[in-house]
């Protein structure tokens, strides 16, 4: 595990974008595993800047996203497909036919999970997987549990997640209750993992996942076993582990 210390969110974003940019420059036809949520937004903005300045070419890049809500189509403004288009894909020269994300509209969960695992396997895993970290240590939608789940799976969202999402929907009933997520096996298959984390509210998860035992109760802790794992964290996220660095 490699830890890159950053000052703040903008610094995390610049440092992470530099690593992803180097990956794309060294292997223009690479496979990038991508995440949604607030953590990678700044990283995507930095990548867009690098594209606009002529330093990056995404024309041969393929992507595999971590997760998608079940029941939301790609045009719904809360879907992760929509998030990826508005935060990255629409602003760079990527071929969106090369961008993979679980299909939240497929009611056949088993079929959709098998299809997505076959996509990941066809690439032999991502060359670089970008991750955020949940305050409870989740990666993708792999929540704390009694065992690590290997393959893409359908997860029931926690009430806390549903409540937090409710503000984006007309009613609580409209909020998705399930998601499809890449499993721990899919994440661990990627050749490099880059996790971006910032803020005090993630400090406990950083301590539990990267400075504690490897356990499915802290899903991100599995990354301690990855042979090429880089954590880019700001001072606030590292505030509980300063003595251990």
Question: Where does this chain bind ligand F6R (CB under 6 A)?
Answer: 35-39, 66-67, 132-134, 138-141
CB of 134: closest distance to ligand F6R in angstroms?
4
Nearer residue to ligand F6R within complex by CB, 89 or 141: 141
Q: Which of 112, 143, 208, 234 is catalytic?
A: 143
Nearer residue to ligand F6R within complex by CB, 37 or 212: 37
29 is catalytic: no
Q: Which of 68, 138, 208, 226 is catalytic?
A: 138
Q: Which two tokens stand for residue 32?
A: 């990038």
Q: Which of 46, 62, 65, 67 is catalytic?
A: 67
136 is catalytic: yes
Nearer residue to ligand F6R within complex by CB, 139 or 209: 139
226 is catalytic: no
Nearer residue to ligand F6R within complex by CB, 23 or 65: 65
CB of 60: closest distance to ligand F6R in angstroms?
24
CB of 237: closest distance to ligand F6R in angstroms?
11
Which residue's Cβ lies closest to ligand F6R?
Answer: 132
Total length of the chain? 245
Question: Among 63, 9, 58, which Cα is nearest to 35's?
Answer: 63
Which residue in this structure is represented by tokens 């060294």? 26
Q: Which of 136, 142, 153, 198 is catalytic?
A: 136
First-residue to last-residue Cα distance in the chain? 12
138 is catalytic: yes
CB of 214: closest distance to ligand F6R in angstroms?
18
Q: Which residues are catalytic?
A: 67, 136, 138, 143
């Amino acid at each position: 595990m490699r830890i890159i210390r950053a000052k703040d969110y903008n610094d995390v974003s610049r440092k992470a974008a530099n690593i992803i940019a180097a990956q794309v420059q060294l292997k223009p036809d690479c496979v990038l595993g991508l995440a949604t949520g607030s953590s990678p937004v700044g990283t995507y903005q930095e990548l867009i800047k690098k594209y606009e300045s002529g330093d990056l070419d995404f024309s041969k890049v393929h992507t595999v996203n971590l997760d998608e809500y079940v029941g939301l189509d790609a045009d719904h403004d809360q879907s992760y497909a929509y998030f990826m288009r508005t935060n990255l894909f629409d602003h760079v020269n990527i071929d969106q036919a090369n961008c993979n994300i679980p299909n939240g509209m497929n009611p056949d969960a088993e079929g959709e999970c098998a299809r997505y695992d076959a996509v990941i396997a066809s690439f032999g895993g991502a060359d670089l997987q970008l991750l955020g970290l949940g305050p409870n240590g989740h990666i993708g939608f792999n929540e704390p549990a009694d065992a690590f789940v290997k393959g893409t799976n359908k997860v029931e969202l926690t009430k806390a997640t549903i409540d937090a999402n409710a503000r984006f929907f007309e009613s609580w009933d409209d909020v998705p209750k399930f998601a499809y997520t890449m499993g721990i096996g899919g994440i661990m298959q990627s050749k490099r993992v880059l996790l971006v984390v910032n803020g005090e509210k993630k400090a406990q998860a950083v301590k539990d996942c990267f400075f504690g035992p490897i356990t499915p109760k802290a899903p991100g802790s599995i990354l301690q076993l990855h042979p090429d794992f880089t954590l880019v964290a700001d001072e606030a996220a590292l505030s509980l582990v300063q003595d251990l660095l």
